[in-house]
Amino acid sequence: MGGWAIAVHGGAGVDPILPNERQEEATRLLTRCLDIGISALRSNLSAIDVVELVVRELETDPLFNSGRGSALTEKGTVEMEASIMDGPKRRCGAVSGLTTVKNPISLARLVMDKTPHSYLGFAGAEEFARKQGVELVDNEYFITEDNVGMLKLAKEANSILFDYRIPTLTTCGGGAAMENQLQMNGLPISLYAPETVGCVVVDKQGHCAAATSTGGLMNKMTGRIGDSPLIGSGTYACDLVAVSCTGEGEAIIRSTLAREVAAVMEYKGLNLHEAVDYVIKTRLDEGKAGLIAVSKNGEVACGFNTTGMFRGCATEDGFLEVGVW
Amino acid sequence: MGWAIAVHGGAGDIPLSLPPEKRLPREAALRRCLDVGIAALKAHNHPLDVVELVVRELENNPHFNAGKGSVLTTSGTVEMEACIMDGKTMKCGAVSGVSTVVNAISLARLVMDKTPHIYLAFDGAEAFAREQGLETVEMSHFITPENIERLKQAQEADRVQLDYTQPIQKEVPKDAALADGDSQIGTVGCVAVDSEGNLATATSTGGIVNKMVGRIGDTPIIGAGTYANHLCAVSATGRGEAIIRGTIARDVAAVMEFKGLSLKEAAAYAMDRVPRGNAGLIAVSSTGEVAMLFNTTGMFRACATEDGYSEFSIWDSPTE
């Protein structure tokens, strides 16, 4: 045991009829990000630097729901949020309501490192970004054609579109059944939709860190904040473990999912895998979500109660896996 | 079993020499709010309604750092936040960056009841408030002369001030225990349980004096400043950044569940996760127990239980 470990995710809840080409794109991106993280770890970068680096890569790529490629609000704009946490002293930084910051995760890092606060949102966060001289772009930069199309569909369905709609496995016949199928956050049908991203790392010193970034829920109300920037819900790291979650934001918040993994390890003495299993099985009720986690001992685990989760993980002793289902 | 209720008006470095003209109005307000809560519980109102009602009262009182009387951002503006949670259903609502809504806690309640979301902030929250027809006013309504003065002092000292703090050295590391205080004003909260074991919590605040515009504290973060489940309901107050890192409210419930601790033991355990001088909390359990703990100089607090126990305190209480 011991040694570094890393996991990345591009969202929980995958449409089983997702086109192959899309699966391949996702797998390639996850592999690339994993490689970036692995190189960084081999170069002795600390966990906190690695998670930021990897999530920046995921934000910049338009494939998943973060940074460029973010889901759109009801107004057709992008409002991004992110959080980062450094296990050793449980330092953290979070941002919400970003509209021009190219890499939200880096701004979250700056909140952690350069302010007396832990969380900045909206105009105040943007102002801070300006003062820090981080790269700013027009809101249009983040908007992709795919997402414009998705928003339109979501409005037509007059419901909030979750990242990936998940078909429930119940087989029912008839039109009414359609309502029950392919649902996450009460949403119908499948098309591919972008996903929250995250990365967790334990470095050679046994220090854990976690980072999560997202554009949030498609067609969300302006000003809606989900689980990704909330410490204890979408992101958490302490001495023992680092966790990043994805899925139905409201369910993740109610179950304080990320903190839960650490809490059962701390308070019930479960190991990483037991903790992840326990939390996914018992804490989500009707909610749909997934998470990735690493422990200070160099273990890595992921769990999800959705049909799939875009993920990749690797450990120093040579384990490497990228998966969708 | 039986109902129980606790309210707080903020934890911090409340000097023992707090002059009567600063202490008495807050005492009176807290007692009155507790009475409002007790009457509501006796009338069999659901704890969720009770905590909202009590916190509305506290928000309307200019002596506390919530609603009217909220502390000011570095720009001299008001950005309020609030959070409410139902222990039985685990439904919750939170708002941040609210500047014109008279009762932020009621807006949080509406987010919980009327949207598919949990948390709305800034312009989006304000727009939703208007859609819902909530009472809104000019921001100046919330600003008191005392708070203008507090901001001035904080800016002169060029530091971030907690609700209750003492003027200190220039560089304030995030976890610095607060020293001598001139600002005696606090976040508010209420937790309640009825005789059926239904639990609820509500917290509301203006944040910290001289905070950066857009700064969000622990209050609206589920698991940090506010949390309720089937075991207990918790509302925390103090240095937001420390409460967030310590996931204080969640941890009280977690150690009750995972380590079998009693409410009071759990509250003490959670408080250990926060450096001295940084926080306080109130909590009630499903069986009608109450805990009120703090590691600051004091915490404005009051509680009552159905079997006749009641308490009002600011500094250390012999029963803690």
Which chain B residues are within 8 Å of A253, Cβ to Cβ?
A: 92, 118-119, 222
Contact A249 B118 (CB under 8 A): yes
Which chain A residues are within 8 Å of B120, Cβ to Cβ?
A: 221, 223-225
- Interchain CB contact of A249 with B (< 8 Å): yes
d(CA A151, CA A133): 32
Q: Is residue B270 part of a domain?
A: yes
d(CA B42, CA B154): 43
Residue B189, both tokens: 């909260």
Q: Is residue B252 part of a domain?
A: yes
Contact B212 A230 (CB under 8 A): no
Q: Is residue B308 part of a domain?
A: yes
**DSSP readout, A52-87?**
HHHHHHHHHSSSSSSSTTPPPBTTS---EEEEEEEG
**What is the model's pLDDT at position A184?**
59
Contact B120 A255 (CB under 8 A): no
Query: Residue ranges of chain B with pLDDT lower than 50?
Result: 167-184, 318-320
B67 known ligand binder = no
Q: What is the CATH classification number for the domain harbouring B148?
A: 3.60.20.30
Single out the catalytic residue among B187, B203, B219, B305.
Answer: B187
Which chain A residues are within 8 Å of B214, Cβ to Cβ?
A: 120-125, 127-128
Give A27 to chain B, closest Cα distance, Å. Answer: 31
Which chain A residues are within 8 Å of B245, Cβ to Cβ?
A: 90-92, 118, 231
Q: How many domains does chain B have?
A: 1
Mutation target among B85, B216, B241, B261 for the A interface, most CBs of A within 10 A: B216
Tell whether pTM > 0.80: yes
Residue B318, both tokens: 């012999």
Which chain B residues are within 8 Å of A125, Cβ to Cβ?
A: 214
Q: How confident is the model over A14-30, as a mean pLDDT?
A: 89
| Residue A86 CB neighbours (<10 A) | 25
d(CA B141, CA B137): 7
- The pLDDT tens digits for A265-318 are 999 999 999 999 999 999 998 889 999 999 999 999 999 999 899 999 999 999
Least CB–CB distance from A254: residue in B92, B174, B215: B92
Q: Are B11 and B293 in contact (CB under 8 A)?
A: no
Domain that holds residue B266: 4-165+180-313
Least CB–CB distance from B255: residue in A118, A124, A267: A267
Give A160 to chain B, closest Cα distance, Å. Answer: 8
- pLDDT range class, residue A182, cuts 50, 70, 90: low
Q: Are A149 and A192 in contact (CB under 8 A)?
A: no
Global ipTM: 0.91
Instruction: Lowest mean pLDDT of A154-158, A210-214, B100-104, name the range.
Output: A154-158
- In the sheet with B290-294, reading across from the earlier edge strand, the strands are B226-228, B232-238, B279-285, B290-294
β-pair type (A224-225, B119-121): antiparallel
**DSSP readout, A137-155?**
--GGGG--HHHHHHHHHHH
d(CA A37, CA A9): 13
Contact A122 B123 (CB under 8 A): yes
Domain A5-142+190-323 -> CATH class: alpha beta
Which chain B residues are within 8 Å of A233, Cβ to Cβ?
A: 222-223
Residue A254, both tokens: 């109610």
- Interchain CB contact of A278 with B (< 8 Å): no
- pLDDT range class, residue A159, cuts 50, 70, 90: low
Q: What are the CA-CA distances from residue B108 to residues B94, B101, B251, B317 (Å)?
A: 5, 11, 23, 32
- pLDDT range class, residue A157, cuts 50, 70, 90: confident
- Interchain CB contact of A108 with B (< 8 Å): no
Single out the catalytic residue among A99, A144, A168, A196.
Answer: A196
Question: Is A196 among the catalytic positions?
Answer: yes
Q: How confident is the model over A251-255, as a mean pLDDT?
A: 96
**What is the model's pLDDT at position B169?**
39
Which chain A residues are within 8 Å of B211, Cβ to Cβ?
A: 117
Give A63 to chain B, closest Cα distance, Å. Answer: 25
From B250, which residue of chain A is nearest by alpha-carbon distance? Answer: A256
Q: Is residue B70 part of a domain?
A: yes
Average pLDDT over chain A reads 89
Q: Are A253 and B118 in contact (CB under 8 A)?
A: yes
d(CA B296, CA B181): 11
Give B257 to chain A, closest Cα distance, Å. Answer: 9
The binding site of A for substrate comprises 224-227, 246-249
From B115, which residue of chain A is nearest by alpha-carbon distance? Answer: A221
pLDDT for A158 beyond 70: no
**What is the model's pLDDT at position B158?**
74
Percentage of chain A lying above the pLDDT 70 cut: 88
Mutation target among A96, A113, A115, A117 for the B interface, most CBs of B within 10 A: A117
Contact B214 A122 (CB under 8 A): yes
Q: Are A218 and A162 in contact (CB under 8 A)?
A: yes
Q: Is residue B172 part of a domain?
A: no
Residue whose structure tokens are 């928003």: A151
Contact B241 A116 (CB under 8 A): yes
The 10 Å CB-count burial string (b at 16+, else e) for A157-194 is: eebbbbbbbbbeeeeeeeeeeeeebbbbbebbebebbb
User: How many Cβ pairs closer than 8 A exist between chain A and B?
Assistant: 152
**Residues β-bridged to residue B121:** B96
- pLDDT range class, residue A160, cuts 50, 70, 90: low
Higher pLDDT, A169 or B110: B110
Least CB–CB distance from B119: residue in A124, A225, A267: A225
Contact B118 A254 (CB under 8 A): yes
Domain boundaries, given as residue ranges, for chain A: 5-142+190-323
B237 known ligand binder = yes
d(CA A41, CA A317): 13
